[in-house]
Amino acid sequence: MRTTVGIIGAGPAGLLLARLLHNAGIDSVVLESRDRQYVEQRQRAGILEQGTVDVLRAAGAGTRMDREGLRHDGIELRFDRRRYRVDFPALTGGRSVTVYAQTEVCKDLIALQLKEGGPLLFGAEALAVEGAGTDRPRVRFRHQGREDVLECDYVVGCDGSWGVARRAVPAELVRVYERTYPFGWLGVLADVPPSHDELVYARHDRGFALLSMRSTSVSRLYLQVPEGTDAGSWDDDAIWAELERRFETGDGWRLERGPITQKSVTPMRSFVQEPMRYGRLFLAGDAAHIVPPTGAKGLNLAVGDVVTFARALTRLTETGSADLLDAYSETCLRRVWQAERFSYDMTTLLHRAPDATPFEDRLQLARLERVTASRAAATDLAEAYTGFPLD
């Protein structure tokens, strides 16, 4: 089996890359270890930056997003029982974000790929990337009970932090930057309309809380919990009671309760592996970097990576110039580190560390006061939240 670009992983990054390459007349094959049902039900991110929305529309994958997605023009910050709205369009020249779940993005891109694109193999487990440092890399994979080889001109690893692509970079060339946090997020899906029409980020002495949504009828809510917490150790009434405490305001706002249909705990981690390219192997998304979810950057960073690769390969194909392809890692990492910075800032701004001192508590409140009192500080937050340029 042979193709120009072998793509490992059919998450939103791999699927979008296949679509961008198809639109540019470049063939690809996508290998995905899971089945289609799993990919289309895998709960992950739900906030799309302005740039991500624009890319999906331009790629022909925005019809259902525009119909069913929820445009959000701001977020609400809560602390000391007070509420403050960050107005994105007013601070950024018109930019916004869209609530549209990763599951729905994947469904749209899978349908397009199966209808118009190249091969998309579900249940195809990538076993190794071989010859990445040569001009003929290959992906060894297992599909339908037998091993096969995908020969490529380029391989793009969109297979996450535990995939084979990242491990194909020689250890002596790798630089890793990492931070783990002593808390996680207990996340729940609930069959109840959201209690607010925009996301609410709450800083509380008992810990952080986030009110989000998946649709107008399904709420997605999060609580800061100690690292290693078992989601099953929290019963539904305890979750709602804690959410009510952390979201409490002085103006009578109420959190609506409903049946909880799903619980999980997400660990909090910052991670970057450099470089993001080795020979003809290119890393994208979680294969190269992870951010804590506070800044809603994970999916959007992956989109930035594959847009950068698709533009670079298109330039090479059309002009013969490899300048953008050679600059792939450097170009992506500039955006990655800004997103890492923002995600770290949001995490430390809103979460209370287990060993926080009174001095550190007061610093947190002072930082929040700065955002609410300074247009410049609010603008910095709004520009980062709605997305760094994909250029």
Please tell me whether residues 15 and 151 are part of one structural domain: yes
For residues 99 and 50, what is the distance between their CA atoms, to the nearest angstrom?
Answer: 11
The whole-number pLDDT of residue 388 equals 86
Please tell me whether residues 313 and 380 are part of one structural domain: no
Please tell me whether residues 262 and 277 are part of one structural domain: no
230, two tokens: 């078992």
For residues 35 and 120, what is the distance between their CA atoms, to the nearest angstrom?
Answer: 11
Tell me which residue of 335, 271, 273, 274 sits closest to 302, measured CA to CA.
335
Please tell me whether residues 148 and 279 are part of one structural domain: yes
- Note down the domain range covering 212: 181-268+353-386
Enter the pTM of the model. Answer: 0.95
Residue 46 DSSP symbol: -
Is residue 84 annotated as part of the catalytic site, yes or no?
A: no
Q: Is residue 82 part of a domain?
A: no
Please tell me whether residues 132 and 147 are part of one structural domain: yes
CATH number, domain of 106, equals 3.50.50.60
- Residue 228 has a CB neighbour count (10 Å cut-off) of 10
CATH number, domain of 194, equals 3.30.9.10
For residue 275, whether the previous peptide bond is cis, meaning omega lies within 30 degrees of 0, is yes
Q: Is residue 26 part of a domain?
A: yes
| Tokens 């118009």 -> residue | 116
Instruction: Extract the residue ranges of the chain whose pLDDT is less than 50.
Output: none
Q: Is residue 90 part of a domain?
A: no
The whole-number pLDDT of residue 96 equals 97
For residues 113 and 22, what is the distance between their CA atoms, to the nearest angstrom?
Answer: 9
The whole-number pLDDT of residue 42 equals 79
CB 178 within 8 A of CB 305: no
177, two tokens: 């930057």
Q: Is residue 223 part of a domain?
A: yes
Please tell me whether residues 25 and 69 are part of one structural domain: yes
Please tell me whether residues 335 and 377 are part of one structural domain: no
Task: Write down the catalytic residue from 22, 289, 297, 351.
Answer: 297
CB 59 within 8 A of CB 117: no
Please tell me whether residues 282 and 264 are part of one structural domain: no
The whole-number pLDDT of residue 76 equals 98
Task: Write down the catalytic residue from 12, 22, 72, 328.
Answer: 72
φ, ψ dihedrals at 388, nearest 5°: -80, 150
Please tell me whether residues 154 and 263 are part of one structural domain: no
Please tell me whether residues 244 and 323 are part of one structural domain: no
Crossing angle for the helix pair 298-319 and 50-58, to the nearest 10 degrees: 40
Please tell me whether residues 167 and 316 are part of one structural domain: yes
Is residue 107 annotated as part of the catalytic site, yes or no?
A: no
231, two tokens: 């989601």
Tell me which residue of 73, 72, 65 sits closest to 100, measured CA to CA.
65
HSE-up of 127 (CA within 13 Å, CB side)?
10
Is residue 226 annotated as part of the catalytic site, yes or no?
A: no
Q: Is residue 91 part of a domain?
A: no
Q: Is residue 13 part of a domain?
A: yes
User: Percent of the chain at pLDDT above 70?
Assistant: 99
Q: Is residue 84 part of a domain?
A: no
Residues 6+ apart with CB under 8 A from 11: 39, 42, 44, 102, 106, 158, 160, 285, 302
Tell me the β-bridge partners of 149.
140
Please tell me whether residues 216 and 274 are part of one structural domain: no
Q: pLDDT tens, 2-55? A: 999 999 999 999 999 999 999 999 999 999 999 999 999 876 778 999 999 999
Is residue 351 annotated as part of the catalytic site, yes or no?
A: no
Query: What's the farthest any 2 CA atoms get from each other in the chain?
Result: 65
Task: Write down the catalytic residue from 100, 154, 181, 201.
Answer: 201
For residues 220 and 212, what is the distance between their CA atoms, to the nearest angstrom?
Answer: 5
Is residue 278 annotated as part of the catalytic site, yes or no?
A: no
HSE-up of 285 (CA within 13 Å, CB side)?
27
- Residue 262 has a CB neighbour count (10 Å cut-off) of 11
φ, ψ dihedrals at 87, nearest 5°: -90, 105
Number of domains in the chain: 2
362, two tokens: 């007061």
Q: Is residue 57 part of a domain?
A: yes
